[in-house]
Amino acid sequence: MSKRLISGADQVLENVLENVLIFLTSRRDRNAVSLVCKSWCRAEAHTRSDLFIGNCYAVAPRRVTDRFKRLRSVYLKGKPRFADFSLMPADWGAHFTPWVYVMAGAYRALEKISLKRMLVTDDDLAVIAKSFKGFKELVLVCCEGFGARGLGVIATECRNLRVLELNEDEVLEDEFDWISCFPSDCTTSLESLCFDCLESPVNFEALEKLVARSPLLKKLRLNRHVSIQQLYRLTSLAPQLTDLGTGAFGLQDIIDPQQPAYQEPDHGHTFAACKSIVCLSGFRDLAHEYLPAIFPICANLTSLNLSYAHVDAQQLKSVIRHCHKLRIFWTLDSICDEGLQAVANACTDLRELRVFPTDPSENAEGPVSETGLLAVSLGCRKLQSILYFCQQMTNAAVIAMSNNCPDLEVFRLCIIGRYRPDWVTGQPMDEGFGAIVKNCKKLTRLAVSGLLTDRAFSYIGQYGKLVRTLSVAFAADGDTGLKYVLEGCTNLQKLEIRDSPFGDSGLQSGLHHFYNMRFVWLSSCRVTKQGCLEVARRLPKLVVEVFRRDEEDGGERGDFVNTLYMYRSLDGPRADAPQFVKIL
C-alpha cells in the first residue's frame, strides 16, 4: 500500500473512526468496514485485534503483518476437513513455521494463537514461547507434528499462560514430563488446561501440585491415563471447575507406597465438591459401576460428552433423566433408539446432538435408526445442530425433523451404507434432504448421504440460499447435480465432494462463484486434468491443486483427476507444495 500523506482533517476523522471501530468485534462487520474506502480500511486495520484466516494459503504471512499492525489474537486454519479422514497425503502442507517466524517479528503483543489442522513443530512452539512475552492462550485443534517437549517450553516460558488446550491433536509420544515444566514457585494464571487427546501418561504428582496452585482453573480435561481415584483427588483441589474432562473414569489403581493396604475412595463423593460443573466429558475407559457418581451434577449440566464410552440404553437413562438443562449432547449409538427417546424426553432444551457409530462398518447392526431421529425431533424442538450416523433412514423421519425443528442450522446425516435408499419406500433420500433445505430457513451447513439423485441437488440449489458448507459423498446421477448447487447456493463457501459422478461441465458452472469461496474439494469424481486446467486458466487468482492420496506423481487416476483442491489466494501458488502436488 502506498504511503500517502493525508491532511490534518482527514487524520482527525481517521482517529475518530478508530475510536469507534475498537468496539466492532464481528469479523464480517469489520470486513465490510474495510471495503468502504482507503481511510476506513486503514482505520480498521489499526484497530483489528483478532484475526481469522480460514485458509492459511489464501494469503502470505507478510501481507498480514503489513496490513494489521496490532494483533492480539490469530486464528489460522490449514488443511481442509477431509484430511481428517485420511483423504489427504501426509506431507501436503499447512506448516505453521513460516507464520510463527513472521509474526514473531511483527507482533510483540500477541497473546493468543489458535490453530486448526496445521502442522506445528516443537520449534514453532519454542518460538511462540520466546517471542511473545505476554502470551496467554494456545489452542491447537486437530494439529500434529509437535510433542510434549514443545509443550514443556510453553509451560516454562509463558508465565502469563491462561489457556492451553489440545483438542484431538496427534501429539508425538516423546514421554517428556511437560507438566513439571510449569513454574512451581507461585500460583499460575491457568484458567484452562486440556490434554485429553494425549496418549502418554502425565506426571500425576506434578499435575496435582499444578492444580493446587491454579486457583483460577475453570476448565480441566484429563487424558485416559488419569484414573478415577486420581480424578477424585483433583476435583477435591479444584471445586471451582466448570468444565471437566474426567479422564478414564475407570479401573486404574495406583500403587501408593505409603499405603500398603489400598482402599478405594468413596466415588459417590467425587463430584460432591464441584457444584459448578456445567460441561462434562471424558469417560475414556469407563467403568460403568461408577457412572452414578455423576448423578449429583447432572441437573446443572449444559454439555455432556459420552461419545468415548459404550453406554447402553439403560445406563444412559439413569443419567439423562436428570439432565434437564442439557444443551449439547455427544454420544455413541450404543444408547440405541431407546436411549435417544430418553434424551428426547428429558432434554427439551437440547441445541446440539451428535451420535457417533460404535461400529463404523457398512454392514453392522445399526442400533439407531429413523425411530431415534424422529423421537429427537419431537422432543427437542429447539435443536440447532445435529450429526447423526446410522445404517438406515427414511424420508419420513427426515421430513418430520425438518418440520419439528425449524431452528436447525447444521444438518449432517451420515447413512453409513453407501447408496442406501429409504428402506421403507425404496425411494432415494431426495425428498428428506429437500425438506430440510426448504423448511429449515436458517440452515448454513449440510451433509448428505444415502441414495441421492439430481433431484436432491436441485432442491439444495433452489432452497439452500444460506448454505455455506456442503458435504457430499457417493451421490447423484451426473453433472447436473453439481450445476444446481454451484448456480443456486449463492452463499456457498466450502464445498467438499467425494466419489460422485461430477465432471468438467459441472465444474465450469461454478466459475462465477469460485472467487467467493474458501475452497472446493473434489476427490474420486469425474473431473479431468483438462477441465481443471480450464478453470485455472479462467481464474488466475485461484490456486488449483491436483494430487493423489497415495502420493503418486501427476495426480491422475486414469482419465480423471484423483483429488482436486482449489482455493483463492492473494499471493499466488504456495512455495512449499510437495512434489506430488501439481499446481495448475
Least Cβ distance, residue 163 to another protein (angstroms): 21
Closer CB to another protein, 499 or 552, in the complex: 499
| Buried/exposed 492-523: b ≥16 CB within 10 Å, e otherwise | bbbbbbbebbbbbebbbbbeebbeebbbbbbb
Closer CB to another protein, 202 or 298, in the complex: 202
Least Cβ distance, residue 447 to another protein (angstroms): 8
Closer CB to another protein, 12 or 254, in the complex: 254
Least Cβ distance, residue 245 to another protein (angstroms): 13
Beta-carbon contacts of residue 16 (< 8 Å; ≥ 6 apart): none
Closer CB to another protein, 45 or 475, in the complex: 475
Residue at 195: amino acid letter: F
Backbone φ, ψ for residue 562 (5° rounding):
-70, -60
Neighbours of 143 (CB within 10 A): 24
What single string gives the DSSP state of each residue in 151-200?
HHHHHHH-TT--EEEEES-EEE------GGGS-SSS-----EEE-TT--S
Closer CB to another protein, 134 or 360, in the complex: 360
Distance CA 328, CA 380 (A): 11
Distance CA 347, CA 337 (A): 15
Closer CB to another protein, 262 or 515, in the complex: 262
The residue to which cell 504456495 is assigned: 574
What single string gives the DSSP state of each residue in 514-574?
GGGSSEEEEESSB-BHHHHHHHHHH-TTEEEEEE-TT--TT-EETTEESEEEEEE-TT-S-
Closer CB to another protein, 107 or 308, in the complex: 308
Least Cβ distance, residue 444 to another protein (angstroms): 19
Residue 352 vs residues 305, 341, 386: alpha-carbon distances, Å: 11, 15, 6
Closer CB to another protein, 450 or 531, in the complex: 450
Least Cβ distance, residue 499 to another protein (angstroms): 8
Backbone φ, ψ for residue 396 (5° rounding):
-55, -45
Closer CB to another protein, 420 or 455, in the complex: 420
Q: Tell me how far apart the terminal alpha carbons of the chain are, to the nearest angstrom.
A: 29
Distance CA 305, CA 237 (A): 23
Least Cβ distance, residue 319 to another protein (angstroms): 16
| Buried/exposed 337-360: b ≥16 CB within 10 Å, e otherwise | bbbbbbbbebbeebbbbbbbbbee
Distance CA 194, CA 243 (A): 10
Distance CA 298, CA 290 (A): 14
The DSSP 8-state label assigned to residue 452 in this structure reads -
Least Cβ distance, residue 104 to another protein (angstroms): 29
The residue to which cell 466450502 is assigned: 494
Chain contacts with another protein (rule: CB under 8 A): 82, 84-87, 90, 142, 168, 170, 175, 197, 200-201, 227, 251-255, 284-286, 288, 307-310, 312, 356-365, 389, 414, 416, 418, 447, 471, 473-474, 498-499, 549
- Nine-digit cell at 67? 496490513
The DSSP 8-state label assigned to residue 201 in this structure reads P
Closer CB to another protein, 47 or 227, in the complex: 227
Closer CB to another protein, 29 or 173, in the complex: 173
Whether residue 390 contacts residue 416, with contact meaning beta carbons closer than 8 Å, is answered with yes
Least Cβ distance, residue 411 to another protein (angstroms): 15
Closer CB to another protein, 9 or 255, in the complex: 255
Distance CA 293, CA 296 (A): 7
Closer CB to another protein, 95 or 548, in the complex: 548
Whether residue 498 contacts residue 523, with contact meaning beta carbons closer than 8 Å, is answered with yes
The residue to which cell 507482533 is assigned: 107
Which residue, 115, 113, 14, 100, is CA-closest to 65?
Answer: 100
